[in-house]
Chain A
């Protein structure tokens, strides 16, 4: 058996022209979350507690597409989803369609630990959240100005943007036409990292 190990991610698919400042911001957030996980592991917290702790931290920072800073659906609302799994005995919990739960990953953990099920969604998940007394916030809490702008662009382009964001300052999709890389039939420059 080797020692402990940890990995975190903040999304895949990055615009090659992502401003250096944003790259630096992303690396600092990832480093901060990694260090949080490392100190928990050094205190012998079990793996399942560490993954919840780290993802909760990532949900709270608006930089990536989860929790605060989540992508917006067609109606301009946030609908979040999460899942968690504990290797020994393969216990798991998942939630979808959350719009008021501050940390979806913690509700997924409660589904695993406190319910007879593995997956609760939408109104069922929200009422389970109230029953469990997890922190609830208004949907506005999750919405950032940046994402409101991106939703506008996505509607203008009449497309659904995958887990990615459009780089700030690239208001028109045409801006990226000279990039040879395509994704979903659109030039990569339409996308930006989460």
Chain B
């Protein structure tokens, strides 16, 4: 495992910590898209079905359990916690799940490595993760006052994807025969979705302004 992969995973973990900090400590999920969080829970549930059958390392197994556990915990907080759920911007978070889930599933049936249930679901999870941030980005654009934790959460998620791209470049040059086209192309699409957000995040940070996205 190279440094970019490790930093990518740690950035991903940190993004979850930041979000849980906001939800659990501040008891607010304002500006957070439940749609995106539900899509992430679905991503991990379909990708990590191999958790008991396919052992890579203790590190991988522990991380999988953390991402599965935290994603469902976040969804539970936003839907059921009596204080947190009242801070959810339901009227603004209007993106429809099926608009992302159905095309991703269709694509997974068409473009995959093997036609087995586990393989199709794994491929589906890769495609879905690439676009799962979409409802969150739409919600951010509609939010007038984006708080620091929400802005940092999305920034960390984008940074995690960017670090994974660097990880793949290193692996391509250091591991013989290493290639994974489905993951690479989805990863590039996913990172590109953050480009606009990054631009405004850095611009506002450099000007010492509060983060705001043009609508």
Co-complex (A, B): no
